[in-house]
C-alpha cells in the first residue's frame, strides 16, 4: 500500500471537471505508453503495430470511468492505472479485430489507416490477440500496486467475463448474425448490453473493486458503493450506444474519424432505426438522468462520474 499512496493524485472533488478530465486522460496515456512493450523490443513489428493500435488517440472513456469510479471510493492511484490500462487494451484489441475484412472491413479509424491496412491482416489479428493477453498481464500485477490479491482475482474474472462469449465477443457474434434483421428494442438492448455495455460496466466495476480492499470480503460500504456503481454503469453503457447510433446518422467522417452512416448502409439495426431519431435522443436524455440519480448517494466524491455521464451523452463524436 505504501508504494501506491505515494503516487496519490489530487482528489477528484478538488479539481474542476475539465481539469480532472485532462489530468486523468494524460495519466491513462502515460500508463499505456509505459505498459506497452517498446516498439524496438523483439518481435519489433508486432510491438510497433500494437503501439500503433493503442496510442493513436481515442477518447479513453473506459480508463476515465475506472479513475472516476475508483476515486469515488478512495482507491490507490497506481492500482487504478493498471485497471484503466487493462480495460483500454481490451477495447483496443476489439477495434483491431472489428475492423478486419472478415468483420466490418473498415479502412479508417480515428482518421488513420486501420491496423490491417497498415500492417496486413495476419499481423492485425495477432495484434488483437496479444493486446488481450497484455490486458490480463497488466491487471494481474495490481497486487504490487496497492490492491489485494483477492480483489485482483475478482477484477480478472470481471474483465474476462465482460470481454468473453456472454459479454463483448458475444455481442459481436449477435451483431454479425443480425445484419439485415429487424431487431426489436429488447433484442437490440441485449446485443448492446453485451457488445459495448459489458466493458463499460466492467470499467466502472474495476474502479470500484480497486477501492474495495479485500475482494473476498467486501465491507458494507463497499457493497453499497458497488450497487450504486452498477446502476450508474447500466445507464451509461446503454446511453453510450444510443448516442453512437445518433452520431452515426448525424455525424460526418471528419468529426467521427470514421465513415459516417455506415451502420445504416450495412442495414445494421440501430436505436435510430428501431425508435426514430427523436425518440433515440429522448432516451439518451433519460439515461443521463438515471446515471445521475444512481450516484447521488455517493455525494461529492462521485462528481467526476456525473461529469462523464454528461460527456458521454452530450459528445459530438
| 142 contributes a contact to its own copies by CB under 8 A | yes
Tell me the backbone φ, ψ of residue 183, rounded to 5 degrees: -75, 140
DSSP labels, 169-216: HHHHHHHHHHTT----HHHHHHHHIIIIIHHHHHHHHHHHHHTSS-TT
Among 118, 161, 231, 262, binds its own copies (CB under 8 A): 161
| Residue 56 engages its own copies in binding (rule: CB under 8 A) | no
Taking the complex as a whole, the smallest distance from the CB of residue 162 to its own copies amounts, in Å, to 8
Name the residue nearer to its own copies (CB basis): 4 or 306.
Answer: 4
211 to 250, contacts with its own copies by CB under 8 A?
216
Given 28, 92, 154, 272, the residue binding its own copies (CB under 8 A): 154
Which DSSP category does 137 fall into? H
Which one of 47, 60, 145, 281 is in contact with its own copies (CB under 8 A)?
47
Residue 17 interacting with its own copies (CB under 8 A): no
User: Measured from the CB of residue 198, what is the shortest distance to its own copies in angstroms?
Assistant: 11
CA gap 204, 83 in Å, rounded: 10
Q: CB neighbours (10 Å) of residue 87?
A: 32
Nearest approach, Cβ of 91 to its own copies (angstroms)? Answer: 13
Asked if omega into 160 is within 30° of 0 (cis), the reply is no
HSE, side-chain direction, 13 A CA sphere, residue 286: 8
Number of residues located near its own copies, criterion CB under 8 A: 58
Q: Residue 63 or 167: which CB sits closer to its own copies?
A: 167
Which of 164, 184, 297, 299 binds its own copies (CB under 8 A)? It is: 164
Per-residue contact flags (x/-) with its own copies for residues 71 to 100, judged by CB under 8 A: ----------------------xx--x--x
From 41-49, 52-60, 231-239, 253-261, span contacting its own copies (CB under 8 A): 41-49
Q: In this structure, what C-alpha cell is assigned to residue 52?
A: 500503433
Binding status of residue 157 toward its own copies by CB under 8 A: yes
- Cα separation, 289 vs 266, in Å, equals 32
Residue 1 interacts with its own copies (CB under 8 A): yes or no: no
The least distance separating its own copies from the CB of residue 289, rounded to whole angstroms, comes to 30
> Is 280 within 8 Å of 272 (Cβ atoms)?
yes
Euclidean distance between CA atoms 315 and 303, whole angstroms = 18
Among 169, 249, 275, 277, binds its own copies (CB under 8 A): 169
Q: Measured from the CB of residue 145, what is the shortest distance to its own copies in angstroms?
A: 11
**Taking the complex as a whole, how short is the minimal distance between the CB of residue 21 and its own copies, in angstroms?**
30
CB of 75 to its own copies, least distance (A): 17
Phi then psi for residue 181, to 5 deg, are -95, 150
> How does 271-287 read in b/e, with b if 16+ C-beta sit within 10 Å?
bbbbbeeeebbebbeeb
101-138 burial: b if 16+ Cβ within 10 Å, else e: eeebebeebeeeebbbbebeeebbbbbbebbbebbbeb
Smallest gap from Cβ 216 to its own copies, in A, equals: 7
* Residue ranges binding its own copies (CB under 8 A): 37, 41-43, 45-47, 50, 93-94, 97, 100, 102-103, 121-123, 125-126, 128-130, 132-137, 139-143, 148-150, 152-154, 156-157, 159-161, 163-167, 169-170, 172-174, 176-177, 190, 216
Amino acid at each position: 500500500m505504501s508504494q501506491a499512496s505515494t503516487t496519490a493524485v489530487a482528489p477528484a472533488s478538488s479539481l474542476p471537471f475539465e481539469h480532472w478530465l485532462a489530468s486523468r486522460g494524460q495519466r491513462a496515456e502515460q500508463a499505456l505508453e509505459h505498459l506497452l512493450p517498446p516498439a524496438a523490443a523483439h518481435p519489433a513489428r508486432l510491438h510497433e503495430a500494437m503501439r500503433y493500435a493503442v496510442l493513436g488517440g481515442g477518447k479513453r472513456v473506459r480508463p476515465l470511468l475506472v479513475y472516476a469510479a475508483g476515486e469515488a471510493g478512495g482507491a490507490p492511484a497506481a492500482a487504478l492505472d493498471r485497471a484503466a490500462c487493462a480495460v483500454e487494451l481490451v477495447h483496443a484489441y476489439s477495434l483491431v479485430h472489428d475492423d478486419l475484412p472478415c468483420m466490418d472491413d473498415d479502412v479508417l479509424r480515428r482518421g488513420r489507416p486501420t491496423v490491417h491496412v497498415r500492417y496486413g491482416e495476419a499481423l492485425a489479428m495477432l495484434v488483437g490477440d496479444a493486446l488481450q493477453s497484455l490486458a490480463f498481464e497488466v491487471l494481474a500485477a495490481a497486487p504490487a500496486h496497492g490492491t489485494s490479491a483477492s480483489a485482483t482475482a475478482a477484477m480478472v474474472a470481471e474483465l474476462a467475463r465482460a470481454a468473453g462469449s456472454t459479454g463483448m465477443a458475444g455481442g459481436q457474434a449477435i451483431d454479425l448474425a443480425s445484419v439485415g434483421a429487424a431487431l426489436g428494442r429488447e433484442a437490440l438492448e441485449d446485443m448492446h448490453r453485451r457488445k459495448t455495455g459489458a466493458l463499460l460496466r466492467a470499467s466502472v466495476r474495476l474502479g470500484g473493486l480497486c477501492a474495495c480492499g479485500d475482494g473476498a470480503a467486501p465491507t458494507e460500504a463497499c457493497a453499497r458503493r458497488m450497487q450504486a456503481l452498477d446502476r450508474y454503469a447500466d445507464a451509461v453503457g446503454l446511453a453510450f450506444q444510443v448516442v453512437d447510433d445518433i452520431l452515426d446518422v448525424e455525424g460526418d467522417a471528419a468529426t467521427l474519424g470514421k465513415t459516417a452512416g455506415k451502420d445504416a448502409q450495412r442495414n445494421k439495426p440501430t436505436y435510430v432505426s428501431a425508435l426514430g431519431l427523436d425518440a433515440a435522443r429522448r432516451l439518451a436524455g433519460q439515461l443521463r438522468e438515471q446515471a445521475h440519480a444512481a450516484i447521488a448517494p455517493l455525494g461529492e466524491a462521485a462528481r467526476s462520474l456525473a461529469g462523464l455521464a454528461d460527456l458521454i451523452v452530450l459528445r459530438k463524436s
